[in-house]
Amino acid sequence: MEIRQLRYFVAVAEELNFNRAAERLYISQSALSRQIQQLEENLSAVLLERNSKRVALTAAGESFYHHALRILGELQFAAEESKLLSAGQRGSLAIGIFGSSILDLVPQVLKRFTSAHPEVRVALHPMDKDAQIQALRERRLTIGFNRLVPAEPDIEQEEVRQEPLMLALGEGHRLAQRESIDLQEILEEPLILYPRGVRGSLVVQIRQMFERYEAQPVVAHEVTDVTTSIALVGGGMGLSIVPRAAVNLRLPGVIYRPLNCRGDSTIELICLYRKGDQSPVLRSFLDVLREFRDEADIHA
């Protein structure tokens, strides 16, 4: 049995006229009649009663017609599904997030991506950089966003943006009225930092910034994430140095100011994915991400 024979039979069953069915299929009536005969022979069943005046479905033909419609419908669905999957228009996307990236870039990129790819299921998973790398290797993640990630032989890193570091401080702080603040002015101020020992962490970069002034930060508290850090700033527990994306986290009593210092005072945001991953959904997401990045660079 051939798929075309199912299509031919459905046309005859719906038209109940070989001439009209042949015209609909753009084939000759004799060719159509041969195909229907071959189909009946293969099935060992009479599907159509036909004489010089009429064509009618037998009971077997009526049943076969409904099965044929279902089969052709499933084939059409399979073809469309495969096309969408191949084009990255359908599937699933598991994204690892950490820290301030979820406060700015990631939501904006996701909005654009889901608008263009509404059939793709997206799931967000908060994970630190080590957990993201492991999840990528185990294929539990498609892509991750993080900062200051050490090189790994099997993980691709792609820079998304460089963000300036900002100072989060209480609105009643002595420097709150400044438009920008120099690091030298806060060398003795209590800071809310992040844990030591985390490889490639923001705290390492902050300590390097202080070393340019031959100083060490005064650590008031250590926290694991930027949200907690800013919450403590709002409670008057100290100052915090954060990526610019964090300014979207509006908490009572907290303001943000540009931070000036000797040397580089920016921090990278990168995306991570498996080297050699040819997933169409990943390719589609990267296309949107790169487009977004390029537009941001133009307007920077």
The pLDDT-based confidence of 85 (bands split at 50, 70, 90) is low
Mean pLDDT, rounded, for 136-154 = 91
Mean pLDDT, rounded, for 37-48 = 88
CATH 3.40.190.10 placement within the chain = 90-160+268-299, 165-265
Residue 196 has pLDDT above 70, yes or no: no
Token pair in block for residue 262: 């000797």
Residue 197 has pLDDT above 60, yes or no: no
Q: Which residue has the higher pLDDT, 145 or 25?
A: 145
pTM of structure: 0.67
Mean pLDDT, rounded, for 153-160 = 94
**Architecture of the domain made up of 90-160+268-299:** 3-Layer(aba) Sandwich (3.40)
AA identity, residue 150: P
91-128 per-position pLDDT tens digit: 888 999 987 878 888 899 999 999 998 888 899 998 88
Residue 84 has pLDDT above 80, yes or no: no
What is the CATH code of the structural domain delimited by 165-265? 3.40.190.10
- Mean of the per-residue pLDDT values of the chain: 87
**C-alpha dist (Å) from residue 131 to 98, 102, 123, 202:** 10, 17, 16, 17
Residue 29 has pLDDT above 90, yes or no: no
Q: How far apart are CA 85 and CA 1, in angstroms?
A: 29
**Architecture of the domain made up of 3-86:** Orthogonal Bundle (1.10)
pLDDT value for 89: 61
